[in-house]
Amino acid sequence: MENNTINKKEIEKFTRIAEEWWNPNGKFKPLHKFNPIRIKYIRDTIMSEYKIKNDNKPLKGLRILDIGCGGGLLSEPMAKLGAEVTGIDASYKNIEVAKHHLKKSKLKIKYYNASPENLKIKTKFDIILNMEIVEHVDDVETFIKESSKFLRKSGVMFIATLNKTLKSYLFAIIGAEYILKWLPIGTHDWEKFIKPEYLIKICKKNSLTLKKIDGMTFNPILKKWSVSNDKSVNYISKFKKV
């Protein structure tokens, strides 16, 4: 039997609000606020990795696979930076929204309604983005294993997720969902949050070596995200395939 990382409840949850992906004041408003720092982090890290001198298309010639791409909030900026982007998502509705938005933005992105274990393409990618997705899958170990098959040797995988701490429960669930109402109640399940050491262990099994890990923190006064040393709630990591 084929391993399946798709969590049906999680897919249904995001499918219900799929129409909201591109509304900066809708259900994905926190993600719209979070997106600029993610884009900058990925771009700067890739430029440093490949020793790219700054220009307006710094990711030109690089193949990126955006796993759990949703409505394309990261896929489109990566394509604008010059990358050859493929986006996949287990929700059919998310992919339909992403394709629809693509008509407006006139970018070239390949979208597939798939998860890593059932993606039928032969391409190997320079960069894989697993951003805010591992806390929504059914089997993290299988998910990382299947994702890493699409990464070429010396390729880079970015994984951003939530740490499993008391602080993350208070901030990401009680604070963001129940008190501030930034996210629909039930968006996150604390039991599925992942400690960095566990993630590193899984990645190591799949020939992925940790090169860098940073925290991402939100300043409620400035209403801005920044990269920090505090990994207790959100963190982002860069792994290299050896």
pLDDT in tens, 19-72: 999 999 998 999 999 999 999 999 999 999 999 987 889 999 999 999 999 999
pLDDT on residue 180:
83
The tokens of 18 are what?
């799929």
Q: Which residue has the tokens 């262990």?
A: 201
Query: Is a pLDDT exceeding 70 seen at residue 2?
Result: no
CA angle 141, 145, 149 (to 5 degrees): 170
* Helix 140-148 with 196-205: angle, nearest 10 deg: 50
Q: Which two tokens stand for residue 93?
A: 């509705």
SS3 of residue 210 by DSSP: strand
Residue 139: pLDDT band (50, 70, 90) is: very high
Structure token digits, residue 158: 């970015």
Domains detected in the chain: 8-241 (3.40.50.150)
Instruction: Classify residue 104 as left (phi > 0), alpha (psi -120 to 50) or beta.
Output: alpha
Asked whether the beta carbons of 215 and 234 are under 8 A apart, the reply is: yes
Cα 59 to Cα 82: distance, rounded to the nearest angstrom:
5
